[in-house]
Structure 1
Amino acid sequence: MDFFKYIHAVGTGEKGNRNLTQAEAKDMMEQILKQEVHPEQAAAFLLGWRLKPETTDEFRGVVDACDGFIKRAPVANSIELGYPFDGKANNPFIFPLVAKVLKESALELVVVGDDLAPAKAGITLKEVATSIELNKNIHYFDRANFFKEMHDLTQMRMRLGLRTGINTIEKLTRVASSEFAITGVFHKPYVKKYVEVFSDKYKRFALIQGNEGTPELFSKGRLWLVNGEDVQEMIIDPEYFGINYTKSWEKITLEESIEQVNNPSDEFLKLARLNAAVFMFVAQKANTIEEAYEKLNG
């Protein structure tokens, strides 16, 4: 379909805008990924789409389009961790420590990185993953290698400088064909959208109110566990587990982030165990988070 029709659908105002069908959204995204449209047209659509805003059917269509480009490399017994591509600005990544805690658990961690995307301007997962030696149970995938078409949109997205619908759907790629997945979510209304778009793609799917939009819990937050159409909400409080970690509200450097991973404080290490326990629970390696935490401290 002529791409201008998609721009018209999201860029003519409240009275003229309309939602795309799932098939239209798939075609739209395929044209953008193949760069069959000018960058200005792609940016115009993405901005209008965000303001409209996006629907579940549109997100599903975009995911369908992406599935046609992603080169998968299955990892058995794995859980996919869905991280945002705008990085972490104020706190270190904890996943390298979590992997060390899980080294005897037979659970593999799958993470994906790429160059910085809008709009937080944080330290990226890619910067951390390529700057330290990762445990063997971490499987790092660089998007430039397995989904180059999306990677190639990064400069255009950075010039736009704003979050778009791509930020929502890109965190979960299923690059490793993982049976389990957990991703971070900022706002509760997006829980429903994520569930509708991704829950049927995994054996078990979860969302967490994680630190800076990541699947890493640094303070009291909610976990949403999806079983079919049932969504169970629970509160996880580090203090309940005797953890008194204070997260930062100030920007940190890559060097500071890596230093905290290489030489963790006792409280940061406890926090890593709690995050590991959450991942074990989601991946059905324990019946409860408390049970998993006790095993990891045994």
Structure 2
Amino acid sequence: MDFFKYIHAVGTGPKGNRDLSFEEAQDMMTQILNQSIPTEQIAAFLLGWRLKPETTEEFQGALAACDKNITKSEVKNSIELGYPFDGKAKNPYIFPLVAKALEKHNLNLVLVGDEKQPAKDGITIKDIITHINLTPNTHYFDRKEFFNKLHNLTDVRNKLGLRSSFSTIEKLSGVAKSEYAITGVFHKPFVKKYAEIYTDRYKHLALIQGNEGTPELFSKGRLWIVNGEDIEEHIIDPEYFDIHYKKSWETITLQDSLDQLNNPSEEYLKLAQLNAAVYLFITQKYNSIEEAFEALH
């Protein structure tokens, strides 16, 4: 279909806008990924689509187009961690310490990285991976290698400079064919949206009020586990586990983040164990977070 018809569908205002069908969304995303249309039209559609806003059917159609362009490599007994691609700006990453805590528990962590995307000027997964040694149970996939067409849209997205619908559909790519997945959400209304989009793609999908939109818990928050149409909510408070880590509110550098990983405080190590316990619970290796946390000691 002529791509302008898609721009018209999302860019004419509340009275003129309309939702795309699954097939239209799939075609739209195929044209964007192939960059068979001018970059100005791509940017215009992405802006209008987010403001319309997007529907579950549109997201699912777009994901179907993405699936056709992703080279997958199965990692058995794994959980996919869905991180935002604009990075973390105020706190270090904790996944390397979580992976270390899980080494003896037969669980692989799957992470995906790429160049920084809009809109936060944070430290990315790729920045961290470049500067550390990974444990054997950490599996990193660079999007430039397994989903080059989305990687190639980095320049367009950075010129737009705003969050787009890609920010939602790119966090969980299914690259490792993991049965389990977890991603971060900022607000509770997004839980239902992610559940509708992704629940059929994983045996167990979990959402968490993670630090800076990541699947990393740094303070008291909620964990949601999706089972079909049911969403089970858990409240997790690090203080209940005698963890008193104080998260940062100031911007940190890459070196600051690496220093905390290379020389972690006792509280940071305990926080890593709590995150590891959450992942063990999600992957059904233990009946509760408390039981999993105890097993890590």
Which category describes the TM-score, using the shorter chain as reference length? Answer: over 0.9
Q: Which residue of 2 aligns with 1:153?
A: 153
Instruction: Summarize the alignment of residues 3-82 of structure 1 with structure 2, pairs less than 5 Å apart.
Output: 3-82=3-82
Give the C-alpha shift of residue 4 in structure 1. 0.1
The one-letter amino acid of 1:144's match is K
Cα deviation 1:246-280 (Å, max 9, x = unaligned): 00010000011011011100000000000000000
Q: The residue matched to 2:98 in structure 1 has which SS?
A: helix
Cα deviation 1:180-217 (Å, max 9, x = unaligned): 00000112111111001101111111000000000000
Q: Which residue of 1 aligns with 2:84?
A: 84
Q: Which residue of 2 aligns with 1:241?
A: 241
Q: Which residue of 2 aligns with 1:223?
A: 223
Q: The residue matched to 2:104 in structure 1 has which SS?
A: coil
The one-letter amino acid of 1:262's match is N
Give me the whole-angstrom Cα distance separating, in 1, the residues matched to 2:19 and 2:187: 22
Give me the whole-angstrom Cα distance separating, in 2, the residues matched to 1:122 and 1:103: 28
Give the C-alpha shift of residue 22 in structure 1. 1.1
Instruction: Summarize the alignment of residues 127-146 of structure 1 with structure 2, pairs less than 5 Å apart.
Output: 127-146=127-146
Q: Kindly indicate whether residue 199 of structure 2 is the aligned counterpart of residue 188 of structure 1.
A: no
Q: Which residue of 2 aligns with 1:173?
A: 173
Give me the whole-angstrom Cα distance separating, in 1, the residues matched to 2:250 and 2:218: 15
Give me the whole-angstrom Cα distance separating, in 2, the residues matched to 1:214 and 1:133: 21
The one-letter amino acid of 1:271's match is L
Cα deviation 1:66-112 (Å, max 9, x = unaligned): 00000000000000000000000000010000000001000000000
Q: Which residue of 2 aligns with 1:198?
A: 198
> TM-score, length-normalised on structure 1?
0.99
Q: Which residue of 1 aligns with 2:278?
A: 278
Aligned-residue CA RMSD (Å)? 0.5
Give me the whole-angstrom Cα distance separating, in 2, the residues matched to 1:51 and 1:242: 43
4+ residue segments displaced more than 3 Å = none
The one-letter amino acid of 1:82's match is G
Give me the whole-angstrom Cα distance separating, in 1, the residues matched to 2:192 and 2:59: 12
The one-letter amino acid of 1:149's match is K
The one-letter amino acid of 2:53's match is P
The one-letter amino acid of 1:183's match is T
Q: Which residue of 2 aligns with 1:294?
A: 294
Q: Count residues with an aligned counterpart.
A: 297
Q: Which residue of 2 aligns with 1:102?
A: 102
Q: Which residue of 2 aligns with 1:213?
A: 213
Q: Which residue of 1 aligns with 2:268?
A: 268
Q: The residue matched to 1:103 in structure 2 has which SS?
A: helix
Give me the whole-angstrom Cα distance separating, in 1, the residues matched to 2:102 and 2:51: 41
The one-letter amino acid of 2:274's match is L
Give the C-alpha shift of residue 229 in structure 1. 1.2
Flag structure 2 segments of 5+ consecutive residues without an equivalent: none
Q: The residue matched to 1:130 in structure 2 has which SS?
A: helix
The one-letter amino acid of 1:273's match is Q
Q: The residue matched to 1:225 in structure 2 has which SS?
A: strand
Give me the whole-angstrom Cα distance separating, in 1, the residues matched to 2:283 and 2:155: 35
Percent sequence identity is 67
Give me the whole-angstrom Cα distance separating, in 2, the residues matched to 1:73 and 1:249: 38
Give the C-alpha shift of residue 56 in structure 1. 0.5
Give me the whole-angstrom Cα distance separating, in 2, the residues matched to 1:282 and 1:96: 18
Give the C-alpha shift of residue 3 in structure 1. 0.2
> TM-score, length-normalised on structure 2?
0.99
